[in-house]
Structure 1
Amino acid sequence: MLQVGCHEEQIHLCGKIQYFGYLFVFENDICIAASSNAVEITELSFDKILGITIGQLLNLIVDDGRFMIPEIEKHTSVPLKRFTERISIHNQEYYICIYQYDKKIFFEIEVCNDYVVKFTDLNNYAKELERSEDGWQTLTGLIKEITGFDRAMVYQFLEDNSGQVIAESKNEELSSFLSFRYPEFDIPIQARELYARFPARNVSNVDGRIFDILGVSPDKLDLSYCSLRAFSPIHLQYLRNTNTYASASFSIIIEEKLWGLVTCQNIKPKHVDLEQRNLCAFLAQYAANCHLLENQKELITAHKIMAAVERDLKAELLLQYDFEGVLKKYAPKIMDIVAADGIVLKYNGELSRIGEAPDKNGIKIIDDSLLNKEEEGFFSTNQFNYLQSGYEDDTYFPGVIRISLLPGNKWFLYLFRKENIVEEIWAGKPEKFFITPEGSQVSYPSPRTSFESWKKMTKGAATNWKIRELAFLEKIAYVIRQAITQRAGEIFKLNRELIRANSALDTFGYILTHDLKNPLAMINLSADMILNREEDKSKLFNRLATNILNSTRLMTEMMDKVYELSQSTYIHFELEMINPERKIMDILENTKKQYESENLKFILGETIAIPGERTLLYQMFLNLIGNAVKYSSQEEYPLVEVKSYRKGLSVIYEIRDNGIGIDLSHGANIFEIFRRMPNTVGFEGAGIGLSIVKRIADRLGAKIFVESKMNIGTCFFIEFTNVPL
């Protein structure tokens, strides 16, 4: 047997209107549909109604209705912009309401009450809502006064889509529904969607006459915005079962979502006209805005408190080395802000508890249940179930937040809320029954007949964590991680400085003999030329020249190296913009002679000025260009290319050669001191040059990368960041 739920009923395509009004539908200014009672007010047969224009209809029902045409056209040119006017037809007051929707013009006529809204009334109502300590309660009183109904309630939708009455004004003889819960299916989803679109709905008489709309098929006429639309028979029966014979509802929209309804009930039929409904809808939204404003004020105050705690905690964590002590100091403040009952810090395998929280076994159960969620840095729930693990404790903590402070090290921060046992009062037991009409194969939901209070105890859950509380805790977690990272960074930096100092001491002698080879080669070459000149064969001259050259070379270069080494490692210096073109050319000429590579083809592209220190930049390019010349010198057509270019705010220098290449497949650190590749056998060197290059790059705040293929060549990239244009 097929069951059809309330949520499947197409209530906006019912094709019917209530008795207190008339409906005409126009397309291209021609009437294509009308309610069957339209003959009463036009005094035309239905076949003559179809085909008339808006102007002709106005002339039928209003003396000289032509004056309205320009204003009507201005309103109906914008979808859902309504033109309303109070008119008299056959000595009876009516409202006409005309609007465009779904490329059609809807022309509604409905009877008026004697109620008249004054501007002073509107102003007084607004002031009353603004001054009220309980805006929702004040709103129910105002709407009960305006409608004259027996009861007005504010009905709030909860997270599970059920509802609860949070404010009520009623006649004394009626029992109260305040705090009563209603199941989700009492207001099905398609009804909520209509309330979100159109803010006012009313049933004047649940037993009132219903009129069909003729001229178009019901499924072709969307009545979502029609004030006259008839209600579902299921809903009308539901109202009868509550002893309600007139009903009105007004939407409460907060942040573009349906937050709740103002629901009005009367035990006798009663019509609420258009002006009354508009006023009630306005006040409902005004109260919603007041509520939102109060919430914003509370949020601003809460954010100020949160920001202060966050700022102070950050300052102390960054200054103090007692990480656990600082967290213990701020734990009570954090607990107060997020309304937690306890905090646990898991730090270096130890647990530190503040306030009320589970014991060690309870923490283990939480961790075990989250083994498959290790990637979740932030986990929260208000319904954690310990019972599946057989955990027993006097206090139950289903409200759990676990924050990962240091991934991989199992440092966690836990926050807990105790179980909140709630006695819920429902307006009748929330059960849905289906009935099957005789001879039918389709079952329909039966409207509830019982609304006697039914109590339910809700256990196993804590109060929900609020979004702003979770956001605050995420910020606190970020601050803690930042402090841990900075502390680790300081330790890492100290270790790196220590390693660098030790490395400098261990390799000082090697560095002296490495970087001096280029200038020494030139001095040796010059000395050889002097000594081999035929006209200068004096023994004394030769001996003195040789001694002077040797002594000068040794002393000068040792002092220069000490200076360069100290500069590259420790000395503070001011950066200046330097174009290295001239130094590159000097280095090239020297290294060509050193490695006897006179047939080298050298390509020099654009050289862009970069921030640096002259000695350090010279050392860097000396090693990189020297290596390029050296390792390509045995090629038949050696090639070295140096160029630079911009990439955003960075300047990148490339030093490329077609030499022997480097095997990078095994992840070898080529910048490690004394690191020499197997294919460099036969080339002089001690594996120090690239170590110096890396050290200088770090000192200058530059980044260095390498690409290489064996027997094809190598390219070094040096990226200088934040270079001014």
Structure 2
Amino acid sequence: MNKISMRCEDEQIHLCGRIQQFGFLLVFDPDLSCTAASENVAKWLDLSAQDLLGTPIAVCLNKLSLAPINFQQLFSSFEKDPLFREVSEVTIQGTPFYLSIHQRGELLYLEFEQCNPSKPSSTKLYSHARSLDAAGENLWFALCESIYHVIGFDRVMIYKFMDDGSGQVIAEKTADDMNSLLGYRYPESDIPAQARQLYSQFIARHTVDVNAPTYPILGRDTGTLDLGRCSIRALSPIHLQYLRNAEVEASASFSILVDGHLWGLVTCQHRKPRMIDLGQRHLSVFLVQYTVNRFLAYQRNLDLQYNKRIKTLELDLKEKLLVNPDIRTVLCDHADPMCEMAGADGLIIYHPEGTYRYGSCPDREHFEKIQQIISQRGKKELAAYQQIQVDNQDGPLFPGVAKVDILNIPRLTLYWFRKAIEAEETWAGNPEKHYRYDTSTGLNYPSPRTSFEAWKQTAQGQSPSWKKRELLFMRRMRYTVQDAVMKRMSEIQVLNEKLVELNSTLDTYSHTLSHDLKNPLSAIKLAAQIIQQRNNLPDEFLKKISGNVLDAVQLMSDMMQRISEFSKSKSFDFTPRLVDPEVLIHKIITDGKKAYPNTAMDIKIGRLHPFLGETNLVYQLFSNVLTNAIKYSSRKQHPQVHIESHKGEGHITYRIIDNGIGIPADELDTVFEIFKRTSNALEFEGAGIGLSVAKRIADRLQAQLQIESHLGKGSLFILKFKDLPKESEEGTARENQTRNKQYHKNTL
């Protein structure tokens, strides 16, 4: 016959159906009728449990000589906070009790817990808080000291849950005649999963006397009555025997919750029966929460300092990576801080151009085996292991490995290593679990350990675990390098685009020069050939042919000058100042009328507002636009050009209107392209550069240049410049007026 084993984690400790002897329990259904009562009611009252079962809550309270309860307010509190407890002190038949009311599902629980007549009269809360504030790194020891004095137990220890589920005593305060358990390990089975879940929900528990009788709850199926949040719930028989084996008769524990998770326990033990008053437990819970807050503040301060160091390293890495395209070299130069921040013994930078090693690292063969194992376990971008088993008889083991993939193309991966450590672990007794057979149930029950004598074992072949902040640092290294690479790629793309644009412009220059210089060069060549091949040429012929040469040279010179102006318009640097263009515009109009004379030319000049710009660029801009307007309207019978400006919405807008030849509608989109001449302008001299230069200059001035035109009727050029704020306009205007007058004087 096979014996079935019952695991500790299978025991439903919240459905035990029994309570301890220092109080009694009443439970009420949704109709507020007593549905369950503990058997020991008669111990405290002149009533039995049967006298209360089925009785409305108001009648029950009356039988206990208690004041009525405001249920509307009570249930409103439960709705806002399901974990709410209403606690008050009451006296029943001369005995003081704490009355705790809480809700669990649809049931209402009334716990009556005897007050401790020997509880301390002073809590000394301020003194305990000051002690915790001053503890620094010894915070958990200070908490043990405070709770030791609050509850008067023989031993108070901080039991921290480890990553593997086991626990370790990290702080302790004991009576002088007790052995210390500091540093002792406890197996995960000592506090099974369902107990940890219960500790996360109800943070204070205690047992007054492990040998005292417990009492059943009557009136309903106790197998479904949830006692998980009852302070007087009886403990599991297995746990009671565990405490007896540990030679203690009273115990208490307070959950340490950090960021909502069960981080550990304050475990308290006393060799004799001892009651902890509810007020003492509440004070202990407060001190635990106060300590957790101090602990979090301390940890976050450490994290802040750690993050500052990461930030400094990140900024330095980014700066170097943006300047130096050799990522591998930059990372090699930062190997020391990267190894230190990860708490590693060594670092390998794996790159196609070569593998770089820093600190204590595995040899090539050992490293290749580690790579294979990690590859077989998956393709995570970040993977960290406390223990990777690789045989290496010739050198040290590096079971602690963390790797992060930085780039895929080219392949770049960082590997951090930690050496194996040999640590002697002290356990509170042999952690091996034993079972005993119960003939009445036919089950194997887990048997509590009978010995808690120090049991030592040596942990081999593993390294310290990687901390969360160290793994976060590795991720940030990945993002830092990738971000720097993307920025450099973006800059390269911009440079490539500029290079394409410049090459395109250069191609245009080359094409135009090779095409347009053919005619003047042919004229010069022909003239030279005639002079060389013919003797005694008439003076008049020589004068004519030399004139042709000079005309060709002048044409070439003009073309080169305009191309030079076009190229300079892209790279001229300046500081924007307020420019008053009135003097410049008058000079441009005067020169334009001389170049394209027409006695009927009517030029009207309206209000000319100053704007932000640069005098030389402004002169070039208006020269190209105004000269165009004068040139292409000069052959009209009544040519007209009108220039005016107005202010509004942070801009100065200039309008230049002419009644010239206009521009065909289908050519408006290409009018600003270099060497682009409209089909109806071929009778006028020009190279198609003027408007291209004007557009480039407008862009450099951060101005807007637009054109509207109707074929045969004329064109409208609109220029929008930035305006100067009013408070600085007057002084700057006077300064620029002097500068413009000096410029006009020099140009004349």
Report the TM-score when normalising by structure 1. 0.68
1:279 offset after TM fit, Å?
Answer: 1.5
2:24 paired with 1:22: yes
Q: 1:86 to 1:22 in 2, by over 3 A?
A: same
Report matched runs for 1:276-295 at 5 Å.
Answer: 276-295=280-299
Q: Which residue of 1 aligns with 2:417?
A: 416
Aligned amino acid, residue 123 of structure 1: Y
Structure 1 alignment gaps of length 5 or more: 515-554, 578-584, 592-611, 623-695, 700-725
**Match for residue 479 of structure 2?**
478
Deviation at 1:409, TM superposition (A): 2.1
Match of 1:161 among 155, 160, 165: 165
Mapping of 1:431-470 within 5 angstroms? Answer: 431-438=432-439, 440-470=441-471
Q: Which residue of 1 aligns with 2:626?
A: none
Q: Distance in 2 between matches of 1:202 and 1:328?
A: 57
Q: Secondary structure in 2 aligned to 1:436?
A: strand
**SS at the partner of 2:163?**
coil
Q: Does the C-alpha gap of structure 1 residues 71 and 39 become closer, same or farther in structure 2, counting only changes over 3 Å?
A: farther
- Evaluate the alpha carbon distance shift between residue 316 and residue 25 of structure 1 in structure 2; reply closer, same or farther with a 3 A threshold: same
**Residue number in structure 1 paired with 2:152:** 148
The answer to whether structure 1 residue 377 and structure 2 residue 381 are counterparts is: yes
* Bigger shift: residues 442-451 or 73-82: 73-82
Output the CA distance in 2 between the equivalents of 1:479 and 1:214. 66
Paired amino acid for 2:116 = N
* Alignment deviations for residues 577-612 of structure 1 (CA, whole Å, 9 cap, x no partner): 9xxxxxxx9888689xxxxxxxxxxxxxxxxxxxx9
Equivalent position amino acid for 2:135 in 1: S
Structure 2 residue identity aligned to 1:21? G
Q: Deviations over 1:15-42 (max 9, x none)?
A: 1111111000112221111001113334
- Displacement after TM superposition at 1:499 (Å): 6.7
| Root mean square deviation, CA, Å | 4.2
Matched with 1:91 is 94
Q: Quick check: 1:37 aligned with 2:37?
A: no
Residue 648 (structure 1) aligns with? none
Q: Which residue of the other structure, out of 111, 114, 117, is the alignment partner of 1:111?
A: 114
Amino acid at match of 1:263: T
The residue that corresponds to 2:522 in the other structure is none
Q: 1: CA distance between counterparts of 2:493 and 2:70?
A: 81
Q: What letter is aligned with 2:90?
A: I
Within 5 Å, give how 1:111-190 maps onto structure 2.
111-116=114-119, 121-133=124-136, 134-190=138-194
- CA change 1:94–1:375 in 2 (3 A) is closer
1:150 to 1:119, Cα distance in 2 relative to 1, 3 A: closer
Confirm or deny: 8 A CA contact 1:420 1:462 kept in the other structure. Answer: yes
User: 2:486 aligned with 1:429, yes or no?
Assistant: no
More displaced 10-residue stretch of structure 1: 43-52 or 209-218: 43-52
Query: Is this contact kept in 2: 1:203–1:246, CA < 8 A?
Result: yes
Counterpart position of 2:267: 263
Q: Give the distance between the partners of 2:120 and 2:10, measured in 1 at CA.
A: 39
**Does residue 672 of structure 2 align to residue 615 of structure 1?**
yes
Distance 1:570 1:73, change over 3 A: closer
Q: 1:495 to 1:120 in 2, by over 3 A?
A: same
1:210 to 214, 219, 225: 214
Q: Could you say which residue in structure 2 is the equivalent of 1:61? A: 64
Separation in 2, partners of 1:154, 1:172: 18
Q: Please name the residue that 2:726 is paired with.
A: none
* Counterpart among 33, 44, 49 of residue 46 in structure 1: 49
The alpha carbon displacement at 1:383 in A equals 1.5
**Residue 262 of structure 1: how far off its partner (Å):** 0.7
What amino acid is the match of 1:266? H
In structure 2, C-alpha distance between the alignment counterparts of 1:614 and 1:204, rounded to whole Å: 97
Letter paired with 2:110: F
Q: Distance in 1 between matches of 2:665 and 2:376?
A: 60
Distance 2:484 2:94 in 1: 80
For residue 615 of structure 1, report the CA deviation from its aligned partner. Answer: 2.6
CA contact (8 A) 1:55 1:65 kept: no
Q: TM-score, normalising length from structure 2?
A: 0.66
The answer (yes or no) to whether the contact 1:22–1:37 under 8 Å persists in 2 is yes
Q: Equivalent residue of 1:206, what SS?
A: coil
- On the 8 A contact 1:75/1:99 being kept in 2, the answer is no
Structure 1 position 328, deviation (Å): 3.6
Number of equivalenced pairs: 561
Instruction: Identify if the C-alpha distance between structure 1 residues 505 and 122 changes in structure 2 by more than 3 Å, giving closer, same or farther.
Output: closer
1:250 aligns with one of 232, 254, 260: 254
What's the CA shift for 1:394?
3.0
Distance 1:357 1:339, change over 3 A: same
- 1:203-227 C-alpha deviation (Å, 9 max, x unpaired): 1111211111111111331111111
- Which residue identity lines up with residue 452 of structure 2 in the other structure? F
Question: Would the alpha carbon gap of residues 430 and 67 (structure 1) be closer, same or farther in structure 2, given more than 3 Å must change?
Answer: closer
The one-letter code of the counterpart of 1:7 is: E
Q: Give yes or no for contact 1:399–1:417 (8 Å, CA) kept in 2.
A: yes
Q: Deviations over 1:515-561 (max 9, x none)?
A: xxxxxxxxxxxxxxxxxxxxxxxxxxxxxxxxxxxxxxxx99x989x
Map residues 275-424 of structure 1 onto 2, 5 A cutoff: 275-320=279-324, 323-372=327-376, 375-387=379-391, 391-424=392-425
Q: Deviations over 1:329-361 (max 9, x none)?
A: 432222222222222223443222222222333
CA distance in 1, matches of 2:16, 2:228: 10
Residue type of the alignment partner of 1:413: L
Aligned residues with identical type, % of pairs: 36
Q: Note if contact 1:310-1:476 (Cα within 8 Å) is conserved in structure 2.
A: yes
Whether the aligned pair in 2 keeps the contact of 1:403 and 1:413 (CA below 8 Å) is yes
Q: Is the 8 A contact 2:123 2:150 kept in 1?
A: no
Instruction: Tell me by how many angstroms 1:492 deviates.
Output: 6.2
2:366 partner letter: G
Distance (whole Å) between structure 1 residues aligned to residue 673 and residue 239 of structure 2: 86
Alignment of 1:670-709 (within 5 A): none
3-state SS, counterpart of residue 230 of structure 1:
coil
Match of 2:103 in 1: 100
Query: Where does structure 2 lack aligned partners over 5 or more consecutive residues?
Result: 516-554, 574-612, 614-650, 654-661, 680-695, 700-748
3-state SS of 1:108 partner: strand
